[in-house]
A = this chain, B = another copy of it.
Amino acid sequence: MNIQSFIPPQRTLMGPGPSDVSARVLSALARPTIGHLDPLFVGMMDEVKALLQYAFQTKNEFTIALSAPGSAGMEACFVNLVSPGDSVVVCRNGVFGQRMVENVTRLGATAIVVDCEWGRAVDPQMLEQTLAHHPEAKFVAFVHAETSTGALSDAKALCEIAHKFDCLTIVDAVTSLGGVELKVDEWGIDAIYSGSQKCLSCVPGISPISFNDKAVAVIKNRTVPVQSWFLDQSLVMAYWSGEGKRSYHHTAPVNSLYALHESLVMLKNEGLENSWERHATLHAELAKGLKGLGIEFIVPENERLPQLNSVFIPEGVDDAAVRNYLLAHYNLEIGAGLGQFAGKAWRIGLMGFTARYENVALCLAALEDALKQA
């Protein structure tokens, strides 16, 4: 066995994530490792918390970076908040909504599914009707930015309806955080999770999470222990509580957290609303070009997620051949379709650091070439 160091090529990442990681964030990632209980690292984590509160637009005390990918962040929300026997309304409009259903089922709770059309935003009216028929529901869960389809739902409206029916909300913001308007406190989101590798353009592997006081109270009042030791937030709360205090839960991914800190400093320096605007502007630029190539969007214009452009593969074009050509010839990665759209769609990401004019120009030129070759 003669295995050498792995030297990756330089790619342009315009898939559904990870997005381009800047040299600045990679440098931060590679700073010298220190101990996870080192007072200086603890101080850095206090800053990460403040920066995440900014990114989420929340004052939630319980705002942390989970030491695992967004899927674990999703699971952390469900296993901490929901108890066996509870009823959870899940709005399913894509792969990640379906994943929420799995989470609910596996912990012994009941999922009441609002079955929405894939490629469309969640219909608030359908949610309202479901809640009216299910007074036993305690939670409403939905995906803000459905990465499998490119649809953006109206989180504010969905949360209002959920609260009208006294339900706590669990919101997936994996692809929305940093890219589109998201106001956790103003919209009354009770529990929210995201991922590091989408619009934050950090390296993959960390899931930012935030719970408000109502959610924390639910956790503290559990009668059944959380089924996961690793994801038990009551244990994690001890690790993250207060300034400067840290007791040992598990070893945090120190270097990845350096990178997250740096990504969040960059976001703060850019300004959250400026970031939202940049994503919208670059999306418009890409959309214009795609139209010029005769490529059509799947999602209606007012429901489109700017940072995840899902388009129909043009008639007669070989899906894999085009994507492989883009990767091999231009080092450009675009995303394949997923779930119901597997083989039918491409997903072109414009997330975080990827969202730059030069990438839009490259993508359009490369696609035009690839389609000619096809």
**A interface list, Cβ under 8 A from B:** 1, 3-11, 13, 15, 17-18, 20-21, 26-41, 44, 47, 50-51, 54, 67-72, 74-75, 79, 99, 102-103, 105-107, 195, 197, 203-205, 225-230, 248-256, 258-259, 261-262, 265, 268, 327, 333, 338
Contacts and interface: CB of A to CB of B under 8 A. Distances in A.
A6 B102 contact: no
A8 B41 contact: yes
Contacts of A27: 30
A253 B333 contact: no
B26 A71 contact: no
B67 A69 contact: yes
A352 to B, nearest CB: 11
B18 A205 contact: no
Nearest to A102: B229
A69 B38 CA distance: 18
A30 B35 contact: no
Nearest to A104: B229
Given A68-B72, A338-B248, A265 B4 contact: yes
Q: How many copies does the complex hold?
A: 2
Q: Which of A39, A70, A228 has the most CB of B within 10 A?
A: A228
Nearest to A256: B205
Nearest to A232: B106
Given A5-B262, A35-B18, A227-B107, A69 B253 contact: yes
**Interface residue SS majority, chain A:** loop
Nearest to A107: B227
Given A252-B204, A253-B203, A256-B205, A230 B75 contact: yes
B265 A5 contact: yes
Given A1-B50, A6-B44, A251-B204, A30 B32 contact: no
A35 to B, nearest CB: 5
Contact of A71 (B29, B205, B250): B250
B8 A230 contact: no
A126 to B, nearest CB: 25
A334 to B, nearest CB: 10
A102 B250 CA distance: 14
Given A54-B1, A68-B230, A75-B230, A203 B33 contact: yes
A28 B6 CA distance: 8
Given A6-B44, A106-B229, 11 more contacts: A3-B265, A5-B28, A7-B31, A8-B32, A10-B32, A11-B35, A15-B37, A17-B251, A18-B33, A69-B251, A204-B252
A3 B33 contact: no
A99 B235 CA distance: 12
Nearest to A35: B333
Shortest beta-carbon contacts, A-B, top 5: A205-B253, A30-B30, A68-B68, A71-B250, A21-B33
A342 B34 CA distance: 21
A32 B11 contact: yes
